[in-house]
A = this chain, B = another copy of it.
Amino acid sequence: MEHRPSDLTRQRILEAGFAEIHRQGYQSASIANILGATGLTKGALYHHFPSKKDLGLAVVVEIIATGLEERLVQPVRSAAQPARALLALIDAKQSLDEEQVRLGCPLNNLMQEMSPVDEDFRLRLNRILSRWQDAFEDALRRAQEAGEVRPDLNCHAAALFIVSAWEGCVGVAKNMQSVETYRACLSQLRAYVAGLLAPPR
Contact = CB atoms under 8 A, between A and B. Distances in A.
Given A167-B168, A175-B111, A104 B129 contact: no
Interface in A23-60: 23-25, 27-28
Interface string A99-123: 0001110001101110111000010
A158 interface: yes
- Copies per complex? 2
Interface string A67-84: 000000000000000000
A189 B172 contact: no
Given A25-B27, A27-B25, A177-B122, A185 B161 contact: yes
A14 interface: no
A169 interface: yes
Contacts of A19: none
Interface residues of A, number: 47
A175 to B, nearest CB: 4
A108 B113 CA distance: 11
B171 A184 contact: no
Contacts of A116: 23, 102-104, 174
A187 B73 CA distance: 25
Contacts of A122: 175, 177
Interface string A143-186: 00000000000101110110111111101101111000100110
Contact of A171 (B24, B111, B126, B188): B111
